Amino acid sequence: MSQHIHCIVSDCHYYAQGNRCNANEILVSTDDFAVKQPDNVDCTMAKQLTPVKAGNCTATACKTYVSKGSGDIRADGVQKMS
């Protein structure tokens, strides 16, 4: 089964033309979780994380986001697909 993640966050390292996400996996969390946890807490740790409730869509975030050109692009262990 193929999965397509559509995303319009154009300054993300994983953003691709056509508003697509080219990360091999992503972690969606709450804003609160994303702000408090370091960059290495991401997809590779997903099975160990405790589920949380957001309440509405504006309280969710893509934890996998990393700025283009950032020195932190390898911190989360996520791969960019070609």
Contacts with ligand SF4 by CB under 6 A lie at: 5, 7, 9, 12, 14-15, 21, 23, 26, 62, 64-65
Q: Is 71:39 a contact under the CB 8 Å cutoff?
A: no
Q: Which is nearer to ligand SF4, 33 or 64 (CB)?
A: 64
How far, in Å, CA of 72 to CA of 26, rounded? 15
Q: Which is nearer to ligand SF4, 14 or 33 (CB)?
A: 14
CB of 69 to ligand SF4, least distance (A): 14
CB of 44 to ligand SF4, least distance (A): 14
- List the structure tokens of 9: 């966050």
Q: Which is nearer to ligand SF4, 17 or 50 (CB)?
A: 17
Strand partners, 35: none
Phi, psi dihedrals of residue 49, rounded to the nearest 5°: -85, 145
